[in-house]
């Protein structure tokens, strides 16, 4: 089976390509190195060393005994995507080639525009390429739990039954995102849903929580690391907290820290994405999967990180609540469903404390790099101050 990973050079894409190769698929990848470039622009870098794509591809072939055929280019260019479809006729396409940072999208109008165009246009290109070139392809599209926001009611997986003025219907659950980035994912979901209604494309729309971790089973063996970001723009909550502890910096819950989010390890994210491929939707189905293991409050995560760090090193980690740079609810109800992936066979691989031990252990080997990046760790990107020209 031919599987194309758009965004193969990224945090999830590189780990996913290794799982797919390990499971015997023919893996193809595309990337334009957007993340590498933009991370450099904010003065940051991946804590785990990642070589150039050329070296990555050589190492990949050496370890997995099979080539990862790579296409360099931008999925927002329809010609580029159509060429790949023509060349390899993929059976499955993972779309991970979007601008993935909420803070980046809030830096200002330029970045907001760039996020809108990159994300919405790339998905629309994929929809048309599938429809024109291979209507049977299975599109697995990375969306986000953040599409739903934090409503004061339970969150279903995509759709819910509404009873309004005596009439009933099954409707898409209302989306209420919290950054320009998260809104692009809502727009993508709407476009995918409509494409499915128009042309019966086979689509899995993954509502993924915040992913954490330094690796997967394959990476433990191959040592072909995926990137690991800790700065305020590109790093995400738990990864940042572990790196802050290791660097001797305060762990930074934003505001009250009672905001809750769904989290899952990189290992589990890759497992779920593989399940999405191996247990596909029916032909012509648009399916939504909520993809996370557990939900936690930011305070719980900060405290657990501090405790695990102290157990491992005998040294305390400081927790410092900082003014929240985002516009978000800091105290709210949160109860999203996440049953469909479990019904398809997903079992979480581990437990938070063990996962944290592994992350902190791995980061201690790169402590100097964590310390070197200390000036880009504290939050600076303000949702309130985002401005235009």
Active site positions, annotated? 144, 181, 185
Pairing, β 260-265 against β 210-212? parallel
253 binds ligand USQ (CB under 6 A): yes
Among the listed residues 80, 199, 254, 383, the single contact to ligand USQ using CB under 6 A: 254
265 binds ligand USQ (CB under 6 A): no
Q: Check if the beta carbon of residue 209 is closer than 8 Å to that of residue 265.
A: no
287 binds ligand USQ (CB under 6 A): no
22 binds ligand USQ (CB under 6 A): no
118 φ, ψ to 5°? Answer: -55, -50
CA distance 333 to 337: 13
Question: Judged by CB, which is closer to ligand USQ: 16, or 68?
Answer: 16
Give the residue nearest to ligand USQ (CB): 146
Name the residue with tokens 């934003």: 254
Question: Judged by CB, which is closer to ligand USQ: 21, or 97?
Answer: 97
CA distance 272 to 291: 7
175 binds ligand USQ (CB under 6 A): no
Among the listed residues 29, 90, 146, 281, the single contact to ligand USQ using CB under 6 A: 146
Task: Tell me 65's DSSP state.
Answer: S
Q: Which of 340, 226, 217 is nearest to 272 (CA)?
A: 340
* Residue 340 DSSP SS3: helix
x/- track of binding to ligand USQ for residues 216-235 (CB under 6 A): --------------------
19 binds ligand USQ (CB under 6 A): no
x/- track of binding to ligand USQ for residues 78-117 (CB under 6 A): ----------------------xxx---------------
237 binds ligand USQ (CB under 6 A): yes
**E-strand stretches of the chain:** 2-6, 26-31, 69-72, 92-95, 138-144, 159-164, 167-172, 202-208, 210-212, 260-265, 286-291, 294-297
Question: Judged by CB, which is closer to ligand USQ: 11, or 85?
Answer: 11
In this structure, the number of other CB atoms found within 10 A of the CB of residue 197 comes to 11
Rg of the chain over all Cα atoms, to the nearest angstrom: 20
326 binds ligand USQ (CB under 6 A): yes
Of residues 26 through 85, those in contact with ligand USQ by CB under 6 A are none
CB of 103 to ligand USQ, least distance (A): 7
122 binds ligand USQ (CB under 6 A): no
10 binds ligand USQ (CB under 6 A): no
Q: How far is CA 214 from CA 7, 44, 272, in A?
A: 18, 17, 17
Question: Judged by CB, which is closer to ligand USQ: 19, or 338?
Answer: 338
Question: Judged by CB, which is closer to ligand USQ: 85, or 183?
Answer: 183
CA atoms within 13 A on the CB side of 347: 1
Question: Judged by CB, which is closer to ligand USQ: 134, or 191?
Answer: 191
CB of 83 to ligand USQ, least distance (A): 27
Q: Which of 199, 201, 2 is nearest to 91 (CA)?
A: 2
> Which residues are at the interface with ligand USQ (CB under 6 A)?
100-102, 144-146, 182, 208-210, 236-237, 240, 252-254, 257, 259, 261-262, 298, 326, 328
């Amino acid at each position: 089976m031919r599987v194309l990973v758009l965004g193969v050079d990224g945090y999830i894409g590189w780990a996913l390509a290794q799982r797919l190769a390990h499971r015997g698929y023919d893996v193809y990848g595309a990337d334009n190195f957007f993340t590498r470039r933009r991370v450099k622009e904010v003065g940051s870098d991946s804590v785990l060393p990642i070589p150039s794509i050329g070296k990555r591809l050589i190492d990949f072939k050496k370890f997995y005994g099979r080539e990862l055929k790579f296409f360099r280019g931008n999925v927002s260019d329809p010609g580029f995507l159509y060429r790949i479809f023509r060349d390899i006729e993929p059976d499955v396409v993972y779309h991970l080639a979007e601008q993935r940072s909420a803070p980046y999208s809030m830096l200002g109008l330029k970045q907001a525009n760039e996020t809108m165009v990159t994300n919405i246009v790339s998905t629309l290109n994929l929809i048309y390429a599938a429809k024109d070139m291979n209507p049977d392809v299975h599109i697995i599209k990375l969306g986000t739990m953040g599409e739903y926001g934090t409503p004061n009611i339970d969150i279903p997986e995509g759709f819910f039954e509404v009873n309004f003025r005596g009439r009933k219907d099954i409707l898409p659950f209302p989306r209420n995102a919290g950054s320009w980035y998260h809104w692009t994912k809502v727009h993508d979901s709407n476009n995918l849903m409509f494409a499915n209604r128009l042309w019966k494309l086979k689509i899995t729309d993954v509502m993924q929580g915040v992913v954490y971790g330094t690796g997967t089973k394959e990476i433990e063996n191959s040592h072909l690391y995926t990137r690991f970001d800790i700065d305020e723009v590109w790093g995400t909550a738990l990864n940042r907290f572990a790196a802050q502890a290791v660097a001797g910096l305060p762990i930074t819950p934003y505001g009250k820290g009672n905001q809750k989010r769904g989290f899952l390890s990189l290992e589990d994210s890759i497992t779920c994405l593989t399940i999405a491929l191996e247990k596909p939707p029916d032909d012509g189905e648009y399916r939504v999967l909520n993809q996370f293991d557990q939900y936690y409050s930011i305070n719980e995560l900060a405290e657990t990180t501090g405790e695990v760090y102290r157990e491992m090193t005998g040294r305390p980690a400081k927790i410092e609540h900082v003014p929240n740079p985002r516009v978000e609810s800091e105290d709210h109800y949160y109860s999203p469903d996440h049953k469909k992936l479990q019904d398809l066979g997903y079992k979480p691989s581990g437990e938070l404390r063990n996962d944290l031990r592994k992350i902190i252990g791995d980061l201690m080997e790169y402590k100097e790099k964590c310390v070197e990046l200390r000036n880009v760790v504290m939050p600076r990107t303000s949702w309130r101050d985002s401005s235009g020209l």
